[in-house]
Each structure stands twice: as structure tokens, then as C-alpha cells.
A and B are shown apart, each in its own frame.
Chain A
Amino acid sequence: MTRVLIVDDHSIFRSGLRTDLDETIEVVGEAADVDSAVARIAELVPEVVLLDVHLPGGGAGAGGGGAEVIRRSAALLGSTRFLALSVSDAAEDVVGTIRAGARGYLTKTSSGAEVSRAIAAVAAGDAVFSPRLAGFVLDAFGAVAGEQAVADDELDRLSAREREVMRLIARGYSYKEVASDLYISVKTVESHVSAVLRKLQLSSRHELTAWALERKLL
């Protein structure tokens, strides 16, 4: 059983999601705004927090929304993982939430089964990349323009393999399909995706922020 907290300001969405999730997931609580979400996370310490990107409440200086919830719960990032769930597919929301520390990003039109799978993946420490997020990553790291990391630990560019994996995910492949297509194991795919997520969170690449700002909403 994976213990999950749902944070969303729309009660109808929370209850809908609750009934849609499969039986391996236990919803331990719900929260509707930034402050109550932070309090509930500290109190319940769920394994996974399903987090809406746009939330009411929270301090003006802390950024607001889901990103603020993650930042204020930073002490728990080791035990609690965040999966962003939003109607927005805007670059600034996606990149902003991931950089705050979320392990994945799904749009709200994802089915209950998809969300359940993503929760399991995030709980196991993997990253969840939708095709759209993979597209963003390819764009943001200049991978489409042919930029490639020389060293493995380089944060500002993707390695050739990571680029391949991202391209396949953008094409709608599941991790398993990516693995069989590239003749590597699923575990390797997952580690590549986690590496990309780490780069996305830690890179100080100028384009990442500038690009997200400039594109505004897609």
C-alpha cells in the first residue's frame, strides 16, 4: 500500500481522484490550500503527495502554489515524494514545479490507472515523465539543436543516451518500450530518467529559466 495525500483546491476533483485510484493506493488525507497542505504533510508524512500546481493561500514571497508546498516541506523530501498534477501544461508551471522538487508531472486528464502507475513509480524513487515534459526537456537543454554533454556529470546538457531516452518518451513510449527499443534494461531507463530529472532540478542553465519565462504559456 502506498500512502498518498491529495492536495487540490477542488473538492470534486479530490473525491473523483480518490475513487479512480486503484486498490494498492491508500489515500490518507486531503488538503485544499498551501498552509493546510504543509501542515498535513508534516503530520501524516505520506509516501507520495499528489499536488496541484495552482493552489490558494501561502505566502506572497515564497512563490505560492504547489511549488511553495514543496519548498516548505523540503525537510521531508527524503521520505515524501511529490507528483504534480495540473490542468496547466504551461512550460513555466511544469519546469517551475519540477525545479522546486517534484518527481514527476501529469496533466489532470490522465486516467486513474495512469495516475496510479505514476504514484507507484514515484514512490519507488523513479521520475515520471509525460511525453510533453520530455519535449520540454529536449527543448530546454538544447538537445534538439544538437547540444550534447561531454562529461557524465555535466548538468547543463543531456548525454547522448539521455537524449535518446527523452526522444522516445516524447514519442509516447513507455519505459518498457524505451528499454526494448534501445536494448537496455528498464532499470537503466529509469536511472537515465532520474538523471535527467536531477539535471532539470539542479542545472543553472540560463535557458531553462529564461526559456520558461519567455514561452509563457504553450
Chain B
Amino acid sequence: MPRYDRAPLLRPRKAIVGGVCSALATHLGFPVSVVRLAMVVFALFGGSGVLFYLWLWAFVPLAPALTRVDAGAPVSRRAPVGALLLAAGTVVAGAAVVLANSATTPFAAIVGATLLAGAAVTWSLAFDQTDATRSARYRTLVRTLGAALLILTGMLLLASHGARPDAVTAVLAVLMIVLGAGVAAAPSVMRLWTELMAERAGRVRQEQRAEIAAHLHDSVLQTLALIQNRAGASSEVARLARAQERELRDWLFAGTAPAEADLATQLRDIAAAIEIDYPARLDVVAAGESAGPVNPALVAASREAMLNAARHAGGEVSIYLESSREAFDVFVRDRGPGFDLTALPADRLGVRESIVGRMSRAGGAATVRRGSGGIGAEVHLHLDRALRKESPQESTGGGPA
């Protein structure tokens, strides 16, 4: 089997037009200028060079990207082919108008001008669109000028011979105007199309997600619930299963959560974090609209109350957040041994400072009381919505029980 020590025939990613000449030069070992000259010479013989160029362009593969990051990277072309085609189109169009007003038939020139302007616009849409070296302004300019050239030439042709062009010229001129209008509308049509496609893809994804969610809902969540049940509410296994369940729920319904974390979401997150560390089950129930800015003092005090309940009482802890138009109310209820605030030793700073002190400094109120029937304890935090932006000020908070 003979071996060729030749570089493979591949078109480079950084090219002038199509990269065909440099690909041929690299492959054959000739200087690029020689190959280019040969192409031009052949092009002069009935355009065979042009055909050969286009044929190679179509069939020679593109060089693979060097890095993986470039994998989807488009090809960049140095020559402003769109602008060149447009310029050539303008010249030919001028010639066509002149010819149309003199005696000779301008058909070839008209068709040539149309093709060149169309090619300029097509190039701009097909190649410049993905080319990073071309600015958006350049693309718009080529397209706009292409459309303008078509429409203008068409009108001038219609006006030739004192507004009495011959039949073929008139038909070609009208076609030019129609094409020009089409080119002018092309970007918005394309945009509409892309948007339609994107919307459709989005919907399909949404449906797929809903299907997955429904399936997981029926299978995995059931199993996790079962594990929690069988393992006992506050065992290690149950806590793990519960944490997993939470994560899964968050993931499944991620799309429906508001971007800005409201108070209810924050409390749920805190509860989830505490559950991982302590053998307790924290159930957060929220009622009312808790959106809007959240006072960090209220969050911190709630956190402290929940942490206290999980640490000292454990078991089931109920958290209830009520967000009315005027105020936020947070209740943290546990079923542990309970504690009496007045009988608390002075070193137990947790409740006195972190909850009661913090709330009163924020302009709210905190009350700690024995749970109903003497079981456990309940912390009630109250903060008026109107106060949440004022500077912290001391107030003696009694608060409703």
C-alpha cells in the first residue's frame, strides 16, 4: 500500500472565503499564491475555476476544532464577501439601468444584478450570522443595502424609457422589487421562526419534565415516605430519606419556585438544614402572601427558635408562618420538656438574647410560653410589615399571645 506523506485535504477554520485554496496548497505542497492564481486563470476560461472552487468547497471537509471548547465554533472568514458581492451587484445594476435607457436589451445585466444582490444577502444570512468577526451592524447593513439595491434598481428599471419599459424588463423589475421586499422582511421572518422553534422545544422539555416528575412522584417519593415510616420518625435513616425527599421535591418543582426567596422559602430551607443535624422533624406551614423584603432579624430569630426546639425538644416541631398584610407571625411549637423563660439561668443566652432581644431591637416582639396542656413550648415572633424598613429601635415588646 503506497504511503503519501501529504497533509490531509481539509479546509481551515480561519479562511478568506471558503478556505479552498489554502486547503489545496497545504495538501499539494504548493504556495498558496500559485494555487490562487491558477484558480483565477481557470475562472477566466468559461468560469471552470469558479465551478471547481465551489465543488471543492462543497466536498472538502472542514478541519476539526483544535480544542473541545471550539468544537461548535463557527468558521471565520476574512474577506467581506457580502460587501464585495453587494458592490459588484451595485455596479451591474447601474449598468442595467443605463442599458435599459439606451437601446440595448439589459436582461443579462438585470439577472446578474439580482443574483449578486441576492447572493450578498444570502451570504450575510448563511455565513456572517455565525461569524464572530462580523459585527451585527455590518450584517444589518449588508442586508438593508441589498434590499434597497433590489427595490431601487427595480423602480429605476420601471421608470426607464420614460416609464415605458419593454415587457421583459418590466417583469424582471417587478420580480426584483418583490425580492427586495422579501429580503427586507427576511430577518423578522427568521426571528419569528427561531422563536417558534425555541418555544416548541421548550414546551417539549416542559412536558418531559412533567412526565418525569409524575413518575418520580409515584415511585421514588413513595419509597422515601415508606422508608421514613418504617425507620421511625427521628432515626438516622428516616432523616436521610427525608432530606432526599426534600431535595427531590425541590428539583422536581424547581421551575415553580419564585426567584427571590420569600420568608416561607427561607424558613423551609432553615428547617431542612436543621433536620440534617438534629433528630427532629420540622414541619413548616405557611399561610398568606410572604413575598417581599424579609427582615434578617426575623429570619435569624426564627432560626434560633427552630434550632432550640430541635436541640432541646426534638421529635415533632411545628412551624407556622402567617403573613398578613400588616405583619408576619411565626410560631415554633415543640413537644419537649418545655422551659420557663423567667426560671432560665442567666447563661442561657440563646432564648433571651437571640430571640427576645433580637426581635425587640428589630421593632417586633417575641413571646415564649408553655405549650398547651403544659406540653412543650411555643415561641411566637411578631413583626409588623411597616416597621421592617425602619432603623432598629428598642421597644418593649409584649406581643399578642
Decide yes or no whether A103 CB sits under 8 A from chain B: no
With an 8 A cutoff between CB atoms, is A29 at the interface? no
B384 at the interface (CB under 8 A from A): no
9-residue interface stretch from A72-80, A106-114, A149-157, A193-201:
A106-114
B333: A residues at CB distance < 8 A: 171-173
8 A Cβ contacts from A127-148 to B: 131-132, 134-136, 138-139, 143-146
Query: Is B371's CB within 8 Å of the partner chain A?
Result: yes
A171 touches B226 (CB 8 A): no
Q: Distance in Å from the Cβ of A116 to the closest Cβ of chain B?
A: 13
Considering only residues 286-332 of chain B, those with a C-beta below 8 Å from chain A are 286-289, 316-318, 320, 322-325, 331
Taking a contact as CB atoms closer than 8 A, the residue among A87, A112, A217 that contacts B253 in the complex is A217
* Cβ-based interface call for B222 (8 A): yes
- The winner among A20, A107, A135 for most chain B CB atoms within 10 A is A135
CB-based contact B320/A54 at 8 Å: no
The verdict on B188 contacting chain A, using a C-beta distance below 8 Å, is: no
Minimum Cβ distance to chain B for residue A169 (Å): 9
Contact with A along B193-229 (1 / 0, CB 8 A): 0000000000000000000000001100111011011
Q: Are B322 and A20 within 8 A (Cβ)? A: no
Contact with A along B366-388 (1 / 0, CB 8 A): 00000111010010000000000
B222 near A87: Cβ-Cβ < 8 Å: yes
Q: Are A131 and B320 in contact (CB under 8 A)?
A: yes
- In the complex, A180 Cα to B372 Cα: how many Å? 7
**A115–B304 CA distance with the chains assembled, in angstroms:** 31
On whether A171 and B230 interact (CB within 8 A), knowing A131-B318, A135-B286, A217-B253, the answer reads: no
- The residues of B that contact A112 with a CB separation of less than 8 Å are 229
Is B256 an interface residue, CB under 8 A from the partner? yes
> How many angstroms from the CA of A12 to the CA of B225 in the assembled complex?
11
Q: A111-B233, A132-B283, A216-B256 are in contact. Are A144 and B225 (CB under 8 A)?
A: no
Residue of B nearest to A90 (CB): B253
A-B residue pair count with CB separations less than 8 angstroms: 97
Q: Does A16 contact B (CB under 8 A)?
A: yes
Tell me how far the C-beta of A12 lies from the nearest C-beta in chain B, rounded to whole angstroms.
6
**B325, A146: Cβ atoms under 8 Å?**
yes
Interface contact B322-A87, CB-CB below 8 Å: no
- Asked if A191 is an interface residue, CB under 8 A from chain B, the answer is no
> Is A177 an interface residue when CB atoms closer than 8 A count as contact?
yes
- Asked whether A88 is an interface residue with its Cβ less than 8 Å from the other chain, the reply is yes
Q: Measured between alpha carbons, how far is A178 from B371 in the docked complex, in Å?
A: 11
A65 nearest CB across to chain B (Å) = 11
A22 within 8 A of B: no
In Å, the complex CA distance between A13 and B322 comes to 34
Most buried by A among B285, B322, B323, B373: B285
A176 to B372, CA, bound (A): 9
Given A109-B229, A173-B372, A138–B222 Cβ distance below 8 Å? no
- A residues near B285, Cβ cutoff 8 Å: 131-132, 134-135, 170
User: Do B320 and A171 have beta carbons less than 8 Å apart?
Assistant: yes
- Name the distance in Å between B361's Cβ and chain A's nearest Cβ: 25
A132 and B281 alpha carbons, distance in the complex (Å): 14
Contact of A217 with B256 at beta-carbon distance under 8 Å, contacts A20-B229, A170-B285 already known: yes
A-B contact pairs, 14 of them (CB 8 A): A20-B229, A54-B217, A107-B225, A109-B225, A109-B228, A109-B242, A134-B285, A135-B286, A139-B287, A170-B320, A172-B283, A172-B333, A217-B252, A217-B253
Contact surface of B with A, Cβ cutoff 8 Å: 217-218, 221-223, 225-226, 228-230, 233, 242, 252-253, 256, 283, 285-289, 316-318, 320, 322-325, 331, 333, 371-373, 375, 378
Beyond A131-B318, A216-B253, A218-B253, 8 additional pairs, beta carbon < 8 A: A108-B222, A109-B228, A109-B242, A131-B285, A138-B288, A139-B287, A172-B283, A178-B372
